[in-house]
């Protein structure tokens, strides 16, 4: 103990009384090394993962003039190599060295500029990047906010070379800004604080402290000429957006008073009387977000953003007028202490009952607090405003004035009427002056609908007590089963939190049998969410979350959060579902938005389009986007109302309940669900027989045959092309699962290194696993502007050929190390209730019901021989393997139209098959059996199945042997 105390003193350890959640059992220590590096140590004996995050206070605002993107480029370069560990990507073992002596070789510099440029080209057609840069462009040129931050070949190679600059020397010069006194580090581990402290002292003490000063940018990036503006911008995608922005005093210095938290709660509220509820009912907007955003502690913005309908586009002035009317209402009505106290109580409950997250997420979140808050508040940051200060709220409120406003309005309707172009992304725009007198006219003309403050929140939880668990349950069990529904239940055995997770899966087989059925079900779900929004918004504020979303054979309702008021929210949702009615005005607004979303599929990144085509080829019931768009365009509110009863006339409910809830209450909940859904007078839902149960199935590819699907990208203005090479391996099987996962783990980094880093084929490059309804595969993705998809596909094949020797030469030591790493990954504990329930629900939803999957697969891994792994590679993965089954989906972008024409004209090589008619091809292929085929009629609990399993845990999971008896 004495030695530990001496070490602590030498390193500048200090005893800090951290403000922490009541449920937090971790230990913390603040340490300052002699080089002035400030560190937070976290000891968690229960963790199975360690994590560290370093924040360096040097970013794009520090880019030298004329070297835009240098800070971003440096971040890329640090991941290459260092003096002590010169092999590229050895940083995965010795990551600390790139803060001490990075190499930055000339060859690596030139290659990585291409990667930065590829990343930039990926962003060129992204409206998010384009509009963000436009806001920065219309700011003071001498302020860092104005800068272009990501960099490109032009800014990092062409222009510097033209000025006689050596970019590598500029990079090394810029790296001198990386001083220990500008860094903050969080280290999270299993060991004691003394042990972790010894580690960080040894690893991080050599980082140089060159006494750099942190950048202090001017406080205001906007001069008077950048205010009172209306900016009309032309986006790439369909959809109109409106952003009203004001520069404000940053609220970080007043984090205990939370002025922006109070104002964003009211201005962004979605309940009755709010801005959004009003403009939504008028049919003008689809969503609304309000709040503070900032890149610096020196300045900040408050913004109100929304997606407009076509009608909303025509009423832009009225919408802006309504927003200013509401701001005036807040000023006139005064600041209310009860609202502040309600928010403070909600925040306090949320903080003290926060869910544990993965260590890497925790350290990333925490390190950002170290720069902004005193040490005792590093764990809480700005999460607990506790000081009621109406004058501070009024200070910000007064800054939301017509004199300080900037309005950004995006629409394709501005085509041909813009007069300027932003230089980096070439975004077309025009600027008009909007004087305060004009805003006053808008306010006077705006509708006179009743705007008012929200009422007290009925969903704030009061009862946070924990239910007593009488019967221990390791896995979910079937608690209740009727012809209408089935209930899976599991009590909370791990987290001791007053929360519950409820999933209701509406299995409606008629919902996917045609494009019309799919778009109708989608609209039904959208309308449900729309109808519930005003009522359920308070629930979300109070920590009760719900979602309703489309599935492959119906839709799903998911609820999570504090169990106290869960049934109140659930009953409201069920009531809306059972008594659904079509409101023509909302139908029209949501249909309009949905049509635009389908149209925007053309503007997706090529790799995303390629992934869609893979799914289209594999799935037996998958409709073309064009077919769904055509069906949606023809759909009207009256035909939709007539179609719904047919759509929902066959329904079965699969329910899952887990958390702080007793078995009898879970049964009561599902009985209530059943009664409301099937027995309400106006309900459209009817029961179905077992023979009507429908599941998605997957196409089985042919051994030793490579399928090609080649198509031009839907947006030929996008220069990027993409390829996905999909290698289908097997249907869920424990022994094959672990071999495929092991190969992916071993090969993913070398594939990235070879295809992305060495060959510089494209910024988006990955090798990973893919699962389609239990059919597992390997996929390699590349997106590129420099090479066409056929060439990229050939390079993927060459990688696999090159990698054969790596597999065959794999040492016993490396094999065992990789096996141990995979075992450790599988044995990682669930961090919270949602992780655990999603795992178990995933098994139920897939129909596999392998709740003990981790134990069974780990048991096989422990016994796995290297020879077995190599035999698996030889049989399924390597090029020309006897059971290799491959599809290469190739999307040709605007840079490669000539290569596309050449490719489709070429004769197919041996052992290849060109897919020209996707649906004809699918009809010619057999299907994998459904893992969920028996779920409806013959499910029993897992304990029953386990009696039939082999004692060695080598579970055979081929479809013919998944047999359950009721």
**Which residues are tagged catalytic?**
75, 112
- Structure tokens belonging to residue 155: 């800014």
Longest dimension (CA), the chain: 81
Answer whether 744's CB lies under 8 Å from 779's CB: no
Is residue 765 classed as helix, strand or coil in its secondary structure? Answer: strand
- Structure tokens belonging to residue 586: 């909302």
d(CA 836, CA 272): 36
Burial track 67-86 (b if 16+ CB lie within 10 A, e otherwise): bbbbbbbbebbbbbbbeebe
- Structure tokens belonging to residue 404: 């300080």
Of the candidates 559, 555, 605, 643, which has an alpha carbon nearest to the alpha carbon of residue 722?
605
Q: Tell me how long the chain is.
A: 966
> Facing residues of 12 across strands?
none
d(CA 615, CA 552): 12
d(CA 630, CA 641): 18
For 888, list phi and psi in degrees, rounded to 5: -115, 110
Q: Where are the alpha helices (DSSP H) in 79-126?
A: 106-123
Q: Where are the alpha helices (DSSP H) in 484-565?
A: 515-541
Q: What is the CA radius of gyration of the chain?
A: 29
Contacts of 134 (CB under 8 A, 6+ apart): 231, 233, 408, 422, 425, 427, 429
d(CA 390, CA 333): 12
Is residue 78 classed as helix, strand or coil in its secondary structure? Answer: helix
Is residue 598 classed as helix, strand or coil in its secondary structure? Answer: helix
d(CA 782, CA 606): 10
Q: Please state, in angstroms and as integers, the Cα–Cα distance from residue 576 to each residue in 195, 502, 643, following that order.
A: 56, 17, 18
> Facing residues of 301 across strands?
247, 293
d(CA 770, CA 726): 9
**Region for 52 from its dihedrals, namely left if φ exceeds 0, alpha if ψ lies in -120 to 50, beta otherwise:** beta
Q: Please state, in angstroms and as integers, the Cα–Cα distance from residue 505 to each residue in 26, 47, 139, 549, 557, following that order.
A: 37, 33, 50, 10, 6
Of the candidates 713, 726, 728, 714, which has an alpha carbon nearest to the alpha carbon of residue 784?
713
End-to-end alpha carbon distance in the chain: 61
DSSP tag of 59: -
- Structure tokens belonging to residue 270: 């979605």
Please tell me the number of Cα atoms within 13 Å of 115 on its side-chain side.
26
Number of Cβ within 10 Å of residue 612's Cβ equals 18
d(CA 43, CA 21): 15
Is residue 4 classed as helix, strand or coil in its secondary structure? Answer: helix
Contacts of 747 (CB under 8 A, 6+ apart): 767, 803
Q: Which helix (H) or strand (E) is 289 found in, with range?
A: strand 285-293
Answer whether 89's CB lies under 8 Å from 120's CB: no
- Structure tokens belonging to residue 339: 């609202």
d(CA 324, CA 318): 10
Q: Angle CA(196)–CA(198)–CA(200) in degrees, nearest 5?
A: 70
For 195, list phi and psi in degrees, rounded to 5: -65, -45
């Amino acid at each position: 103990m004495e030695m530990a105390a001496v070490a602590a003193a030498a390193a500048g350890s200090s005893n800090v009384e951290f403000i922490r959640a009541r449920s937090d059992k971790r230990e913390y220590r603040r340490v300052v090394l002699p080089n002035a590096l400030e560190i937070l140590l976290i000891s968690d004996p229960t963790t199975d993962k360690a994590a560290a995050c370093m924040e360096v206070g040097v970013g794009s605002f520090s880019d030298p003039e004329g070297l835009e993107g240098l800070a971003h480029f440096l971040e890329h370069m640090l991941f290459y190599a260092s003096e002590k560990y010169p092999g590229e990507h050895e940083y995965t073992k010795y990551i600390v060295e790139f803060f001490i002596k990075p190499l930055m070789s000339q060859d690596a510099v030139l290659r990585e500029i291409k990667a930065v440029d590829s990343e930039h080209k990926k962003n060129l057609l992204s409206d998010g990047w384009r509009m963000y840069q436009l806001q920065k462009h219309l700011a003071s040129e001498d302020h860092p906010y104005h800068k272009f931050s990501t960099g490109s070949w032009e800014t990092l190679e062409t222009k510097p070379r033209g000025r006689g600059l050596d970019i590598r020397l500029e990079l090394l010069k810029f790296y001198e800004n990386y001083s220990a006194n500008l860094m903050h580090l969080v280290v999270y581990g299993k060991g004691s604080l003394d042990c972790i402290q010894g580690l960080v002292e040894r690893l991080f003490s050599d980082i140089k402290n060159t006494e750099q000063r942190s950048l202090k940018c001017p406080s205001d990036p906007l001069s008077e000429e950048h205010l009172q503006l209306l900016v009309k911008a032309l986006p790439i995608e369909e959809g109109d957006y409106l952003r009203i922005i004001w520069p404000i005093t940053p609220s970080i210095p007043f984090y205990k008073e939370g002025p922006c938290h109070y104002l964003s709660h009211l201005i962004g509220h979605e309940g009755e009387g709010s801005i959004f509820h009003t403009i939504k009912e008028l049919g003008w907007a689809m969503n609304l977000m309000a709040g503070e955003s900032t890149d610096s502690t020196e300045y900040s913005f408050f913004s109100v953003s929304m997606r407009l309908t076509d009608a909303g586009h025509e009423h832009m002035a009225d919408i802006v007028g309504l927003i200013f009317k509401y701001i005036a209402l807040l000023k006139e009505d005064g600041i209310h202490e009860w609202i502040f106290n309600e928010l403070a109580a909600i925040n306090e409950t949320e903080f003290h009952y926060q869910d544990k997250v993965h260590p890497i997420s925790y350290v990333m979140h925490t390190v950002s607090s170290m720069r902004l808050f005193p040490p005792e508040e590093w764990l809480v940051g700005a999460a607990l405003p506790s000081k009621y200060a109406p004058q501070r709220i009024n200070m910000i409120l007064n800054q939301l004035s017509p004199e300080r406003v900037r309005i950004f309005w995006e629409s394709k309707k501005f085509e041909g009427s813009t007069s300027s172009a932003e230089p980096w992304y070439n975004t077309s725009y025009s600027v008009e002056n909007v004087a305060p007198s004009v805003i006053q006219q808008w306010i006077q003309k705006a509708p006179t609908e009743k705007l008012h403050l929200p009422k007290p929140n009925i969903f704030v939880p009061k009862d946070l007590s924990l239910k007593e668990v009488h019967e221990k349950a390791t896995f979910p069990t079937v608690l209740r089963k009727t012809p209408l529904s089935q209930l899976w239940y599991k009590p909370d055995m791990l987290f001791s939190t007053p929360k519950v997770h409820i999933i209701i899966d509406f299995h409606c087989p008629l919902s996917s049998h045609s494009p019309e059925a799919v778009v109708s079900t989608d609209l039904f779900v959208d309308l449900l969410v729309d109808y519930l929004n005003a009522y359920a918004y308070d629930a979300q504020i109070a920590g009760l979350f719900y979602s309703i979303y489309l599935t492959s054979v119906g839709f799903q309702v998911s609820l999570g959060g504090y169990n106290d008021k869960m049934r109140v929210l659930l009953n409201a949702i069920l009531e809306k579902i059972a008594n659904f009615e079509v409101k023509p005005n909302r139908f029209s607004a949501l249909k309009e938005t949905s049509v635009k979303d389908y149209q925007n599929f053309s503007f997706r990144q090529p790799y995303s389009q390629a992934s869609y085509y893979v799914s289209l080829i594999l799935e037996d019931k998958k409709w073309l986007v064009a077919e769904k768009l055509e069906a949606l365009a023809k759909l009207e509110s009256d035909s939709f109302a007539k179609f719904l009863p047919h759509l929902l006339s066959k329904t079965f409910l699969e329910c899952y309940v887990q958390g702080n809830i007793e078995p009898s209450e879970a049964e009561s909940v599902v009985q209530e669900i059943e009664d409301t859904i099937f027995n309400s007078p106006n309900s459209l839902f009817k029961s179905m027989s077992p023979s009507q149960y429908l599941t998605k199935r997957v196409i089985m590819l042919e051994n030793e045959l490579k399928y090609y699907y080649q198509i031009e990208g839907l947006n030929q203005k996008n220069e990027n092309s993409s390829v996905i090479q999909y290698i289908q391996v097997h249907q869920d099987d424990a022994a094959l699962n672990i071999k495929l996962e092991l190969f992916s783990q071993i090969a993913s980094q070398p594939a990235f290194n070879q295809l992305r880093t060495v060959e510089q084929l494209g910024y988006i490059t990955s090798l990973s696993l893919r699962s389609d309804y239990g059919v597992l595969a390997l996929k390699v993705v590349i997106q590129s502007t420099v090479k066409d998809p056929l060439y990229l596909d050939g390079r993927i094949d060459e990688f696999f050929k090159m990698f054969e020797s790596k597999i065959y030469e794999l040492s016993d030591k490396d094999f065992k190390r990789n096996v141990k790493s995979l075992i450790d990954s599988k044995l990682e504990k669930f961090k919270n209730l949602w992780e655990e329930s999603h795992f178990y629900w995933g098994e139920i939803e897939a129909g596999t019901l392998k709740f003990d999957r981790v134990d069974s697969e780990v048991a096989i891994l422990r016994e796995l021989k290297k020879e077995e792994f190599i035999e698996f590679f030889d049989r399924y993965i390597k090029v020309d393997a006897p059971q290799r089954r491959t599809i290469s989906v190739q999307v040709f972008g605007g840079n490669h139209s000539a290569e596309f024409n050449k490719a489709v004209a070429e004769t197919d090589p041996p052992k290849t098959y060109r897919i020209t008619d996707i649906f004809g091809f699918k009809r010619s292929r057999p299907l994998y059996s459904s893992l969920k085929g028996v779920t409806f009629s013959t499910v029993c609990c897992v304990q029953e199945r386990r009696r039939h399993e082999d004692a060695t845990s080598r579970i055979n999971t081929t479809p013919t042997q998944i047999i359950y008896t009721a």
